[in-house]
Chain A
Amino acid sequence: MGLKQQLEQLKAQGLEQIQNVKDAQELNQIRVKLLGKKGPITEVLRGMKDLSVDERPKVGAFANEIKQEIAGAIEKQVQVMDQLALQQRLKHETIDVTLPGRPVKTGTPHILNQMIDDLEDLFVGLGYEVIDGPEVETDHYNFEMMNIPKNHPARDMQDTFYITNELLMRTHTSPNQARTLESHDFSKGPLKMISPGRVYRRDTDDATHSHQFHQIEGLVIDKHVTMADLKGTLEVVARHVFGNERQIRLRPSYFPFTEPSIEVDISCFACGGEGCSVCKYTGWIEVLGAGMVHPNVLKSAGVDPEVYGGFAFGLGPDRFAMLKYGINDIREFYQNDLRFLQQFQQEVK
């Protein structure tokens, strides 16, 4: 057998061994065995000295070719083995992704505060200031300054928690109108404010009454603010809270501190105005009271009603939330059952 044939044979055997190798260690042994200094190819090449000068380079080149071929095969096999090992590792490391995630507790803002925050943001965007006022008010600001003198029948509309003859739990956020009107410097521009907060009525708590609830007062006073501006502003509120399709409807009403006074209905968001149980089959839902600020209120606060005028409104976050989320019992807001509170974790805007 010639050298060339020997080499061919070695190559065939080597490639077969490489193909059948079981692990990286065996492959390494094969590498040393086939390509090492004591390996068969080297052995064969030693026999080259017997060849003619002509043939030597040919056989030498052929032997190198075989060496490279075997080395290549080994290299390729290494990659196959690595890939195999990786596959095994990945398989081994596989987890059940359907198991629940590690609980990370985040808190839920109270739904009423979400409602209030949202409306505050809306009005701040419209250029309103947010102004706080005291929860314990004087009779003077809560009633007298709001054009509700003593013995006015409207005092019956708002049963009051008195502390002394002059001190009381505010029955509405309206006294903040008077307080703000007194302090506002009209030479620096119009007054646009909202005032959110807790209010109190002498009521027995039940599903629809709470002795504590919330209001957001709104007040805009300038040299020319119209009832049409009020209507437009309330449309913005209604659509922001209850959806873009909402229509609003104004009805005459009575508040001692506004003239004209109106109640505001929105087209029913549950039925779109067709009539359903939410709107008591009228297509409309009463949501807030508003009006043009009564000249007496301006006058009492030292603002000239001949020059300045504007609108005021009072809306109830409790009522808004009850309507929007179908809450039937106002007490749920103040009992703070976590199961009730936590459902509003969901983005509610």
Chain B
Amino acid sequence: MKISYQWLNSFVNLHEIDPQKLADQVSLTGIEVASVIAPDQGLKKIVVGHILSTEPHPDSDHLTLCQVDIGEDEPVQIVCGAPNVAADQYVIVALPNSRIAGNVKIKRGKMRGQASEGMICSLQEIGFSDSVVPKAYQDGIFVFPEAEEAGQPVFPLLGMDDRMIDFDITPNRADTLGMHGAAWEVGAMLHERPQFPEVKVTESQITTDSLLQVSVAEKSLVPQYLLKVVQKVKIQPSPLWLQIRLWNNGIRPINNVVDVTNFVLLEYGQPLHAFDYDKLTSHQILVRRAQDQEPIVTLDGETRELTSDDLVITDGQKPVAIAGVMGGLTSEITTETQNVVLESAVFDGTSIRKTAQRHNLHTEASTRFEKGIDQGSTTEALQRAAQLLEEIAAGESSRGILVGHQELPVERKLALDPKHVNHVLGTEITTAEIGGILSDLGFEHQLEADRYEVTVPLRRWDIFIEADLIEEVARLHGYDQLPSTLPVGVQTVGGYNRKQLLIREVRQSLLANGLDEVISYALVKDDEAAAFTAHPTAKIKLSWPMTQDHAVLRQNLISGLLNDLKYNLARQQSNVAIFEQGNVFRQVDENQQPLEVPTVAALWSGNVVDESWIEKARPVDFYDLKGALTNLLTTLGLADRVSYQTDELLPELHPGRAAKLMIGNQELGFIGEIHPSLQHDRQLPPTYVLQLNLQVLLDQEQKPLVSESAAKYPAVERDMALIVDHQVTNAEIADLITTNGGNYLQNVQIFDVFTGEAIGVHKKSLAYRLHFQNPIATLTDDQVTQAMTKIQTALQTEINAQIR
């Protein structure tokens, strides 16, 4: 809500503090101020003009020549195109060299040959929003309702010299959605007790209950329901001072009756409604649930179909309003209205919220009921509206208030211990100062046994417990007064757990291998969710996604990486080496939290090395990614425990260039080239991917590292080349060499792979370099030859190798 500085000042002495300064101070002690609005900002030289006479423009059928008194010695001529211009009007005149809305400069000029000394303005032309301009002046110039001194600036007359402080409230501070609440807040800050005008209703002899009967069927949803009748009202525009309050707050003035309900809404934060008494078919008001599919035409002209969850006000037969949301068209206040029923009520916030959502109908009233209102002022607000209708609509209020239901909440009594305040805040605020803050807030309090017994007024329904009172003290004492310390007490040893450390190591290793880290979305398309997943679970879907692109939880990370690849390819970035660490989500049971499996995946596409002055381009291949994987596993001490299986591969992978990664009988993940058909479909270059289940890595027993001294005796190297059938793998051969190599064989390196006609079809030649080492003595030639013979024999017999 926008809080008028001038209106506020009528309740609280603001000591002429600058509005911006006031706003800054309020932001620091209570409510964030979004902005301070100056309605006359950028406008100048706009004054009251008195139109002395008019005559039609000789060369135009719609322009009028006006002789206007602008407070100078002589009247000036202004050409005006508005249809509603007439003699003896007091109007808004933009003088030559003035600035109007949109920073438009008005110049002295001629219109179709006739001099014009400025411009007669509509409200829109001086910056009013179309939505707040009274209907009568929407398509023409504004006319002051009374004579005003010509030549004076218009801004004070139209409330444009006011400053509107826009309170951006949090949900707990709806008590400031009315001027009274705002006055209490600002008053507490300034140590000024707000003063409100006394409500005085004259009332006629006719009692309210002789005019109306009321019953409330849903008392639990309607804590208060109060009615009063104001008879013989004279419908007319409200006085300007009242219209100003409304339009400065974004509300269009309609007529005095409607305006009064809106004014009291702004004043008290209490929504009111006015019915045309004579348009109610019976005078038996009943508040009840709507029937399913019961129709109502609301004030905005829309026909709405209600449900039994909606509360309605009925005239005994048909709904005449959706309770707390919007009135019905049939009982609308019109220019013919003579007698008015005023309603002041409290409706259950949750019920109103659901109704407002169901009908997508959010009004000033529904917003306030949703957020809560001051239930202590429901009666007073009704009387205040009646008083105003007596004053500005010549109405006669009925005697007494007709109560459908009234159940006031109990004022909370809370203990506030100054020791607690200082214990929580880390301050040394005195008991007296705390008492002062309670007084500033208008909270009754008594000091008993070193602590305050505080009575919380109903207007502060956000305060439930002592901690809430501590917050009041803290913010009004000032957070800038708070010392800065660090927690003391028992020291704690911070740290990362094993999983966090493993994740860090995995990321570090991949970064060191030249892969960039990405973060993709965990919510993906339906068809992406379970791709690249060996054993997919049922899909975990959002019940109400925002878009189909992010509708299902991912079970793999590759889909995201492929999207990232496509994004980069579309932007001429073709060397893509990326990885992501994140969770994949596997359904356990529909109604249970899914298993969140820590996972890492990598994707490599394009060149490993680009062509440069020093080397040729080299496209990535399987073994680049495998190298990165080997480094990662080595870091974790698991390289020699992972096996590469080539059966039961994912259908998304190239069947001849992929492997399933196993640790014992646990599935660790996969590595391989994207299937050529998939590459073709997605228009991708050759792309290699890998994905690892980090939980499997975490589950491995960690072997402690025991170091060995570097060998002191010379090593012996022997090379060996052999020809084998094509399908024999390096892993099989290396395995045979290792098992038969004896104790001195330290490691086996493959250094050549060759296929060609020279060695026969379906054959290949492999060459290995074997390192032998005796840690405690020099190796003899015999020992090495013996080992080599054993290896060769094994290779010959086991895999039919031909040793070259």
Contacts and interface: CB of A to CB of B under 8 A. Distances in A.
Q: Would you list the 10 A-B pairs with minimal beta carbon distance, nearest first?
A: A226-B426, A228-B426, A254-B170, A260-B471, A105-B514, A107-B511, A250-B479, A336-B518, A232-B484, A124-B494
Nearest to B354: A151
A102 interface: yes
A228 B519 contact: no
Given A232-B486, A294-B467, A262 B596 contact: no
Contacts of B748: none
Contacts of B542: 161-163, 169
A315 B626 CA distance: 38
24 contacts: A102-B612, A106-B512, A106-B514, A107-B511, A108-B516, A126-B486, A129-B494, A136-B585, A156-B171, A190-B487, A211-B521, A211-B550, A225-B487, A226-B426, A228-B427, A249-B480, A252-B28, A252-B30, A252-B475, A253-B170, A259-B471, A263-B32, A309-B424, A310-B487
A119 interface: no
Contact of B489 (A100, A135, A224, A259): A224
B557 to A, nearest CB: 12
Interface size class of B (residues with CB under 8 A): 35 or more
B571 interface: yes
B543 A164 contact: yes
Given A136-B540, A249-B480, A251-B479, 5 more contacts: A107-B512, A107-B514, A161-B546, A260-B475, A336-B568
Given A110-B518, A164-B590, A223-B489, A292 B541 contact: no
A123 interface: yes
B578 interface: yes
B467 A189 contact: no
A255 to B, nearest CB: 9
Given A113-B517, A127-B491, A294-B467, A251 B496 contact: no
Interface string A324-344: 000000000111111101100
B492 A228 contact: no
Nearest to A335: B567
B480 A233 contact: no
Contacts of A108: 511, 516-517
Contact of B593 (A134, A227, A309): A134
Interface in A217-242: 220, 222-229, 231-233, 235-236
Interface stretch (A62-70, A75-83, A196-204): A196-204
Nearest to B578: A336
A204 B547 CA distance: 8
Contact of A333 (B27, B519, B592): B519
Contact of A342 (B170, B516, B590): B516
Interface residues of A, number: 90
A130 interface: yes
A39 interface: no
A346 B374 CA distance: 56
Contacts of B172: 254
Interface in A97-117: 99-100, 102-110, 112-113, 117
Contacts of B500: 130, 132
A112 B519 contact: yes
Nearest to B480: A249
A81 B490 CA distance: 78
Interface in A136-188: 136-138, 151, 153-154, 156-157, 161-164, 166-167, 169
Given A102-B615, A225-B487, A294-B467, A212 B170 contact: no
Nearest to B570: A337
B521 A107 contact: no
A135 B468 CA distance: 31
A108 B517 CA distance: 6
A120 B503 CA distance: 14
B513 interface: yes
B494 A127 contact: yes
A309 B467 CA distance: 11
B523 interface: yes
A267 interface: no
A215 interface: no
A235 B471 contact: no
A302 B405 CA distance: 40
Nearest to A112: B519
A278 to B, nearest CB: 18
B577 interface: yes
Q: Which of A107, A112, A338 has the most CB of B within 10 A?
A: A107
Given A127-B493, A338-B516, A192 B467 contact: no
A295 interface: yes
Contacts of B799: none
Nearest to B173: A254
Contacts of B425: 226-228
Interface string B224-248: 0000000000000000000000000
A27 to B, nearest CB: 41
A48 B601 CA distance: 95
B467 A295 contact: yes
B482 A260 contact: no
A137 B593 contact: yes
